[in-house]
């Protein structure tokens, strides 16, 4: 189980066959995920995707329509293209024979043309199961806090030999 609530390779997601090896390359439709997830900006989304691919020991490419500053965030490449779908299709075609590729997009056209070797997951399914890592600290549990006052008083008497 990863820190994101998903076991490696999305074994909990219904559109994904858990018996297949986990992907080594994730291709993300940036604006599709941005709008489906209600993110406030591109940086918020790219940070979460970079964490996801790093935790899963994979690489990722997120592609946005339009222009912007391309960057690398750990194992995630942030790319911009006049038509993101075209670049995602090309990347899937270039890598599907030598890597296990997973395409995250709700665009039925791109999911249909990416090839049978490519795993396709809708943006909604991906985001529903994507959970940010959380840090939980539990208070120390002491026996005296879990017993009633009468029992505590009796134990204190026994301790004192009364």
| From 10-14, 129-133, 143-147, the region with the lowest mean pLDDT | 10-14
Residue 6 belongs to some domain of the structure? no
Q: Residue 95 sits in a domain of what CATH number?
A: 3.40.50.1010
Number of domains in the chain: 1
In a domain, 153, yes or no: no
Q: Flag whether pLDDT at 157 surpasses 60.
A: yes
Q: Which of 76, 79, 74, 113 is nearest to 96 (CA)?
A: 113
12 is written with which tokens? Answer: 């909990």
Strand partners of residue 76: 60, 73
Report if residue 48 sits inside a domain. yes
Which residues, other chains included, contact 127 with Cβ-Cβ below 8 Å and sequence gap of 6+?
33, 36, 37
Longest dimension (CA), the chain: 85
- The DSSP line for the chain is --TTS--TTTTTSTTS-TTSPPPSEEEEEHHHHHHHHT-SSHHHHHHHHHHHHHHTT-EEEEEEES----EEETTEEEEEESSHHHHHHHHHHHHTTTS-EEEE---HHHHHHS-TTSEEE-HHHHHHH--------PPPP-GGGTS-HHHHHHHHHHHHT-
Give the least confident one: 28-42, 43-57, 89-103, 123-137. Answer: 123-137
Nearest partner of 95 among 125, 66, 65, 119, judged by Cα:
119
Residue 41 lies in a domain: yes
Q: Is residue 141 part of a domain?
A: no
What range defines the domain where residue 121 resides?
A: 25-129
Is there a contact between 124 and 141 (Cβ–Cβ < 8 Å)?
A: no
Question: The tokens of 111 are what?
Answer: 């999911």
What average pLDDT does this structure show over 124-130? 86
**pLDDT tens, 81-91?**
999 999 999 99
What pTM, to 2 d.p., does this model score?
A: 0.68
Kindly report the average pLDDT of the chain as a whole number. Answer: 80
Is residue 13 one of the residues assigned to a domain? Answer: no
Q: Would residue 87 count as lying in a domain?
A: yes
């Amino acid at each position: 189980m990863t820190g994101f609530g998903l076991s490696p390779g999305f074994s909990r997601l219904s559109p994904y066959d858990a018996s297949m090896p986990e992907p080594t390359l994730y291709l993300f439709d940036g604006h599709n995920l941005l709008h489906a997830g209600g993110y406030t900006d591109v940086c918020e989304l790219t940070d979460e995707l970079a964490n996801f691919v790093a935790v899963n020991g994979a690489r990722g490419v997120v592609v946005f329509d339009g222009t912007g500053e391309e960057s690398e965030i750990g194992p995630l490449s942030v790319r911009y293209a006049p038509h993101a779908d075209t670049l995602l299709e090309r990347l899937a075609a270039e890598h599907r024979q030598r890597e296990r590729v997973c395409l995250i997009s709700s665009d039925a056209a791109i999911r249909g043309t990416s090839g049978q070797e490519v795993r396709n997951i809708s943006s909604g399914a991906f985001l529903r199961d994507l959970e940010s890592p959380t840090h939980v600290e539990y208070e120390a549990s002491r026996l005296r806090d879990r017993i009633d006052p009468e029992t505590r008083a009796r134990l204190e008497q026994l301790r004192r030999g009364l």
